């Protein structure tokens, strides 16, 4: 006796794989956006840190190093 594969089951598996791939692509895009935002925030913090250190230096206030 031979068994036949259910074409609907195969189609469902194929559809699930396609949806999983699309979700992974969206996650990669989201991660890329978040990394870009994080890089931007780090630049802002570094700039603010520089300004604070310059102001402290001009006023003679000690600032501890990291």
- Between CA 66 and CA 35 the distance in angstroms is 24
The answer to whether residue 2 scores a pLDDT higher than 60 is no
The answer to whether residue 1 scores a pLDDT higher than 80 is no
Radius of gyration of the chain from its Cα atoms, rounded to whole angstroms: 27
Global confidence as pTM: 0.66
- Between CA 38 and CA 21 the distance in angstroms is 26
Backbone phi and psi for residue 60, each to the nearest 5 degrees, phi listed first: 80, 15
pLDDT tens digits for range 16-55:
999 999 999 999 999 999 999 999 999 999 999 999 999 9
């Amino acid at each position: 006796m031979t068994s036949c594969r259910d074409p609907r089951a195969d189609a469902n598996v194929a559809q699930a794989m396609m949806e999983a791939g699309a979700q992974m692509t969206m996650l990669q895009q989201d991660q890329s956006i978040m990394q870009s935002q994080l890089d931007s925030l780090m630049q802002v913090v570094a700039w603010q840190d520089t300004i604070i250190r310059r102001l402290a230096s001009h006023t003679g206030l000690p600032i501890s190093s990291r």
